[in-house]
Amino acid sequence: MKRLAAILILLACNAHAQMDGFALWGGAGGASFTPASVSNIVLWYNASAIMATNGQVISSWQTSVGSFALTNAAANSPSYTNSTSIGGKPWVYFGASNYLFNSAETYLPQPLYIFVIAYTETDTSYINTFFAANDRGGAAFTNDFILFKGIGSSSNTLYYENRGLSGHFTAPTNLAHSWYLFEIDANAGLSAVWTNGIVAVTNITASMTNSLRGLSFGTLLNPTAIANSYLRGGIAEFVLYTNAITSGSRQLLHTYFTNKYGAFGTWGP
């Protein structure tokens, strides 16, 4: 009887967990939890899943979830990196003129919720585009959905553009030469951005369509549209969902990232 009661309790806990968008795994944010544990995940680029050696050129970044590989010619591709920063975990380094992209169109119902772990070097010459996408479903290589830092080694300003409507704000500390977790809640109404779990800007009015045509890391979809649009820095992880993230799931994702990389603010250059 006691064993039956324990099983019933376990089943009830599992059902409750799934209602919040995730399944039962060994403890909140435990070792078996990953971004794929949250429902409606569409794309997950994870540098830790790349099979490469330090300094090796990465001309194709395959997804851990989904099927939307980002590629480029080897001469313009970033490189796989191991270092003592960001908890000693792998990441992809983007230097001058390095980028990865896919110009295909895919249907993505709103809202979109994105997590990006990235950093920029101290550099006065580059706009430092973390990622860009075209949400219109029209002509390829327009840049409607962008997160970038802007030029200036001492600039704390981060820029977020959604369908031609921009929001810019001051980051809590100097963005240059620091790793950050960026979160973006993007939908047809109001959008918001967080840095390291702290809300940075809200109420960005936008008008998105239900499609994503093209995605690029390290520059605009059309690198020549704006001079020096490249990222001088790195990306460790990019996760895209097509649903609103509940507060419980969001906290579990934060726990996953901090368990993996260390506490916010300690990830280093």
Q: Is residue 5 part of a domain?
A: no
Q: Are 92 and 179 in contact (CB under 8 A)?
A: no
DSSP-derived pairing of the beta strands 100-107 and 145-148: unpaired
pLDDT value at residue 161: 58
Which residues are within 8 A (CB) of 27 and not within 5 positions of it... i.e. 6 or more apart? none
pLDDT given at position 266: 77
Q: Does 111 have pLDDT greater than 90?
A: no
| Distance from C-alpha of 43 to C-alpha of 167, rounded to nearest angstrom | 24
What total number of domains does the chain contain? 1
- What pLDDT, in 10s, does the model give residues 235-253? 999 999 988 889 999 999 9
Burial 3-29 (b: 16+ CB within 10 A, else e): eeeeeeeeeeeeeebeeebbebbeeeb
Q: What are the E-state strand segments in 56-207?
A: 60-61, 70-71, 79-81, 91-94, 100-107, 112-120, 129-134, 145-148, 157-162, 165-170, 179-186, 190-195, 198-205
Q: Give yes or no for residue 10 having a pLDDT over 60.
A: no
Among 45-54, 171-180, 216-225, the minimum mean pLDDT is found in 171-180
pLDDT of residue 249: 95
Q: Bridge-partner residues for 235, per DSSP?
A: 92, 118
What pLDDT does 197 receive? 85
- 244 vs 59, more confident: 59
In a domain, 213, yes or no: yes
Binning pLDDT at 50, 70 and 90, where does residue 212 land?
low
How large is the average pLDDT for residues 205-226?
Answer: 68
Examine residue 258 and state whether it is found in any structural domain, yes or no: no
Examine residue 131 and state whether it is found in any structural domain, yes or no.
Answer: yes
- Is residue 81 assigned to a domain? yes
Task: Identify the pLDDT of residue 96.
Answer: 80
Q: Which residue segment(s) compose the domain that 96 sits in? A: 39-244
* Within-domain flag for 10: no
- 12 domain residue, yes or no: no
- Evaluate whether residue 45 is within a structural domain: yes
In b/e form, how buried is each residue of 37-73, taking b as 16+ CB within 10 angstroms? bbbebbbbbbbeebeeeeeeebbebbbbbeebebebe
Percent of the chain past pLDDT 90, that is, above it, reads 30
The backbone torsions φ and ψ at residue 233, rounded to the nearest 5 degrees and listed phi first, read 170, -145
* pLDDT tens digits, one per residue of 152-162: 544 555 555 55
Extract the tokens encoding 237: 């992880």
Q: What is the CATH number of the domain that holds 185?
A: 2.60.120.200
pLDDT number for residue 233: 87
